[in-house]
Amino acid sequence: MVKPHRGDVVDVTISHINEKGQGIGALDDYTVRVRGGVPGDQIRGYIRKTRNSRREIELKKTDLLDAETQRIEPRCGHFGTCGGCVWQDIPYESQVGIKQQLIVNCLAEAGIDLELDTPLLNHTSFFYRNKMEFSFGVSENGLAELGLHVPGRFDQVFDLEACFLQSESSNAIVAYVRDFVRSRQLSVYHLKHHEGLLRFLTIREGRNTDETMVILTTSGDDFGDAKELGEGLLATFSNIICVIQSVNDRKAHVAFGDEEILLAGRDHIFEKLGPFTFEISPSSFFQTNTHQAEELYRRVVALADPKCDDRVLDLYCGMGGISFFLSERVKHLLGIEVSDSAIQDAVRNSARNKIENCTFMVGQAEDLLGQLAEKDERFDLVVTDPPRVGMHPKALKALIKLRPNKIVYVSCNPQALVRDLKVFSAAGYQIEYGQLVDMFPHTPHCEVLVRLVDRQ
């Protein structure tokens, strides 16, 4: 073939999707990646980027010539401009089917024989998130903007009219903050010059308590209007419980800072999952889909099927969500988590809920598991919910040495999951059960539950 160049218009057929949800096709000996493409699509587009050394092409879709998967009118007017929703033009049930096939393909490629159960669908495909981060930017005419990022651009923001993933009230909060910023002509942080004040707006909601937290992430510059903005938000929106300024004076473009300043209200909100109440601070990790998190935790308990005298280990326990649900059924549970603030949340919330059979340790899983193995500790059941990269090889080795009877693995990355499952299988564990739990409609993100049993 003629060497492809940026701007060339080509046609490609999508054969499958990768772990990032990109449609994958082939153009001679080049691999073609297309955002929004799904298996069976015939797509025409222009080449945005080539990596000749890797024989890869990134294609920008301009026309859908033919499709095996039905397309519908997206609800959001920002669809295509926004880097968030990838599949809002695909019926929800079809989205889940594509995710299920992605997991099936990953298992098959790894030689793992596992028939997945029927997926657990989300109760709704819209308004399911309890947390969103919005970014500040500047328009071409110098006007402050507040919205989300365009696909693949960390430095380009579009002005948000409405997002249908969080609550409807969050859109009104975004509009209020934007109007305040413009009326006071407040500056926006510049990612190259590292000047300016405003960086992010984060909205966290207790979906079962109707309590909302608003966090404004700023640089270290003076924010003389901060108190007025905080008190104005509290007075205007009855569901807002607290407004907090998070000061990030570093160059890292992240929405959490090194200092938190309470502008109005109290410094936390509450959320409920099942019978448990959680106190959530600005830095707390909490599943961003409240309703489906409760369903996920109940499924973990059902798959674990613990006995009343079981000793349980919860790896990567976060602030203790899964631990609390298991605590009602077991003798004792030990939670391990690398984040000190998450462990503090777990301890505080276990006391709040009068849970007395859970203890928590802070540290790297691979280090603490090794110490437990050296002490010849024994656990009947282990639940592991590792980060996207999967379990550390040393953690895997130490966990196998502990030899629990049963393991329930919660994964957000099918590629990392199958890699770890192969290690467990080689060590004598039988992979008994697998199920997709859909947490994030309109995105390719997958949450998978797997149960393993020791057959040695």
Closest CA to 147 of 155, 135, 129, 164: 135
**Quick check: 170 and 158 in contact, CB under 8 A?**
no
By CB atoms closer than 10 A (0-12, 13-18, 19+), residue 209 is middle
Q: Is 306 helix (H, G, I), strand (E, B) or coil?
A: coil
Beta-sheet strands, E only, within 18-130: 23-27, 30-34, 42-51, 56-66
Let me know if 412 is a catalytic residue.
yes
Beta-carbon contacts of residue 327 (< 8 Å; ≥ 6 apart):
333, 355, 357, 358
Query: How is residue 386 written in tokens?
Result: 């590792």
Q: How far is the C-alpha of 191 from the C-alpha of 247, rounded, in Å?
A: 16
* 121 CA to centre of own chain: 17
Find tokens 């509009």 and name the residue.
175
Q: Residue 452 belongs to what H/E stretch?
A: strand 447-454
- Of the listed 85, 163, 412, 446, which one is catalytic? 412
Beta-sheet strands, E only, within 299-356: 311-315, 332-337
Tell me the DSSP string of 42-74: EEEEEEEEEETTTTEEEEEEEEEEE-SS-----
Could you give the angle at which helices 393-402 and 414-426 cross, rounded to 10 degrees? 40
By CB atoms closer than 10 A (0-12, 13-18, 19+), residue 245 is buried
Beta bridge mates, 37: none
Q: How far is the C-alpha of 379 from the C-alpha of 400, rounded, in Å?
A: 11
Kindly report the number of other CB atoms within 10 A of residue 2's CB atom.
Answer: 6
Kindly report the number of other CB atoms within 10 A of residue 179's CB atom.
Answer: 12
Q: How far is the C-alpha of 91 from the C-alpha of 196, rounded, in Å?
A: 42
Beta-sheet strands, E only, within 182-251: 198-206, 211-218, 240-247
Q: Is 412 helix (H, G, I), strand (E, B) or coil?
A: coil
Beta bridge mates, 188: 198
Q: How far is the C-alpha of 449 from the C-alpha of 221, rounded, in Å?
A: 46
Q: Which residues are catalytic?
A: 412
